[in-house]
Amino acid sequence: MSQVDIYLDAAERVNTRRSYASAIQHFEVEWGGLLPATIDSIARYLAAYAELLALNTLKHRLAALSRWHQDHGFPDPTKAPKIRQLLKGIRTLHPAQEKRAKPLELEILRGVADWLTSAAAAAISRGDSANALRHMRDRALVLLGFWRGFRSDELANLRIEFIEIKPGEGLTCFLPRTKGDRNLEGRSYSCPALSRLCPVEAVEDWLALSKLTAGPLFRKIDRWGHLSEAELTPSSIIPMLRKLLSQAGVADAEAFSSHSLRRGFAQWAGMSGWDIRELMHYVGWRDVKAAMRYLDGVSSDQKERFEQGLDRTLPEKLPAPTPQLPNLPEVALTTIEVSIDLSAFNGGSRRAVANALRDMASTCLARFQAQPLDQDGRRYQISVPTPSTDILDDHLYALLDELHRIADARECFLEAVCRDPATGRYWD
């Protein structure tokens, strides 16, 4: 392999190369297609698998075929108008609901973490080093994966030398490469130390027991308790998590996947009053990543937000091994009425208005436990956390900004007003 080939190879993710190669093999071997392909052969290939494969899978196959033609200097048949129209027809005739991982709720997370703590202690007491290591590793993986909203590949790629831990404060880890990092710049992720279900403490305990100082953070462990030099593969985390949930007594464990950690955190954060833009940046959703960099660092404010959310969403009953926790003050709520007046650009369809209302209700309004006040979905009552008047203003002006953003995306005009019925104060 030449030096040029080495650098070209490094520019593309291993998983991407592997999946593209599999797609090309499916086209050539399983279906019997010839490369370079024609527009008609691509169309017949899509039609042959329209009822068998999901639309996203078909799009991935097209992406692989497109890459092959570009790499070999041939015209790209996948970009033809006929192919775009064919995909539209497949979507129309074979609609399918997107499959999503079941969110891992905070109460389930606590149950799993408590079970792992007890199981690890029992394994240590009977001299079972293999299971002790496995339980401590899994506890660190689950807690860090949840509180950081990590994907399975991000968990697998964590390396100890890129992790900085400040006991009692938080940790920072650097990933040189992630799924959304198209420019290969890398990104630092931080997470605060918490009073319960603490990911920082869990990682410290895992490193102390394993005595690891470098290399992959989460790695394979054989039946005799020997630690592998290789990291866990992203695909191995799903069955590992399902087995763990089943052992901890969680019903319907097969409905969860590694993405359940990410979705579970997002759901918890939304219910805990996080601003949607903060959440999207913290989790790492690309569409607002460039604008929302201010949450990268661990701050006292961020730690307080985590703790307040924990206090609201976990029952007061604490697990036995947990030391006494400080009683965090409850944040006052202000009842606000929100009025929404929407109309489509240039007299457009009612569908655009309906879609905009749906998006508003399911995202930014749902975060404040919105209750509809009419049948049209244009008036809502929301509950806004109000530790101070300034923060109330911030919440409502951010909400109005989000409503306008959604309206613009759906090509609608918007007039929105927030009103405090107790004081008569308006925000618009």
Domain span including residue 385 = 333-427
- Verify that 291 and 363 share a domain, yes or no: no
Q: Two tokens at 286?
A: 């690309």
* Cβ contact 162:173 at 8 Å: yes
Among 326, 364, 8, smallest CA distance to 356 is for 364
Residues 6+ apart with CB under 8 A from 170: 190, 191, 192, 193, 200, 298, 303
Same domain, residue pair 345 and 388: yes
Q: What is the pLDDT of residue 393?
A: 77
Residue at a domain's end among 68, 93, 118: 93
26 exposed, middle or buried (CB, 10 Å; 0-12, 13-18, 19+)?
A: middle
CATH number of the domain residue 119 falls in:
1.10.443.10
Give the Å distances, CA to CA, from 73 to 17, 67, 68, 252.
Answer: 18, 10, 9, 49
Collapse the DSSP code of 72 into the 3-class scheme (helix H, G, I; strand E, B; otherwise coil) and give the result: coil
Whole-angstrom distance, CA of residue 245 vs CA of residue 227: 23
Domain boundary among 45, 64, 93: 93
Q: For residue 36, is the peptide bond before it cis, meaning its omega torsion is within 30 degrees of 0? A: yes
For the chain, what's the residue count?
A: 428
Burial class of residue 99 (count of CB atoms within 10 Å of its CB; 0-12, 13-18, 19+): exposed
Predicted local distance difference test score (pLDDT) of residue 137: 93
Assess whether 276 and 340 both reside in one domain.
no
Contact call for residues 342 and 407 (beta carbons, < 8 A): yes
Can you give the pTM of this predicted structure? Answer: 0.55
295 and 352 inside one domain: no
| Residue 322 within any structural domain of the chain | no
| 323 in a structural domain | no
CA dihedral for 283, 286, 292, 293, sign (positive or negative): positive
Same domain, residue pair 82 and 139: no
Does any domain span residue 248? yes
pLDDT on residue 396: 80
- Cα–Cα distance between 241 and 244 in angstroms, integer? 5
Q: Give the position of tokens 């027991």.
A: 209
CA–CA separation, 294 and 292 (whole Å): 6
In whole angstroms, what separates CA 362 from the centre of its chain? 17
Whether 100 maps to a domain, the answer reads no
Cα separation, 63 vs 12, whole angstroms: 14
* pLDDT given for residue 315 in this prediction: 58
321 assigned to some structural domain: no
CB-based contact 86:47 (threshold 8 Å): yes
Whether residue 405 is found in the same domain as residue 374: yes
Same domain, 240 and 287: yes
Last residue of a domain, one of 72, 93, 114: 93
Q: Are residues 16 and 110 in the same domain?
A: no
Q: What is the dihedral of CA 407, 410, 412, 416, to 10 degrees?
A: -20
**Same structural domain for residues 288 and 409?**
no
Number of DSSP helices (H) and strands (E) in the chain, helices first: 15, 10
| Residues 358 and 247 occupy one common structural domain | no
Element (H, E) at 427: strand 426-427
Low-confidence ranges of the chain (pLDDT < 70): 1-15, 96-101, 177-186, 275-277, 281, 284-332, 346-349, 387-391
**177 phi/psi in degrees, rounded to 5:** -150, 130
Say if 135 falls within a structural domain: yes
Beta-ladder partners of 334: 384
30 and 116 part of one domain:
no
pLDDT attached to residue 206: 92
CATH number, domain containing residue 71: 1.10.150.130
Query: Domain for residue 76, yes or no?
Result: yes
The answer to the question of residue 324 being in a domain is: no
* Residue where the block lists tokens 């392909």: 37
The Cα–Cα gap between 153 and 258 comes to 10
How many domains in the chain?
A: 3
Q: Which of 56, 143, 100 is nearest to 263 (CA)?
A: 100
Domain of 362: which CATH number?
A: 3.30.70
Closest CA to 114 of 210, 202, 220, 236: 202
Q: Same domain for 219 and 347?
A: no
Q: Is there a contact between 62 and 90 (Cβ–Cβ < 8 Å)?
A: no
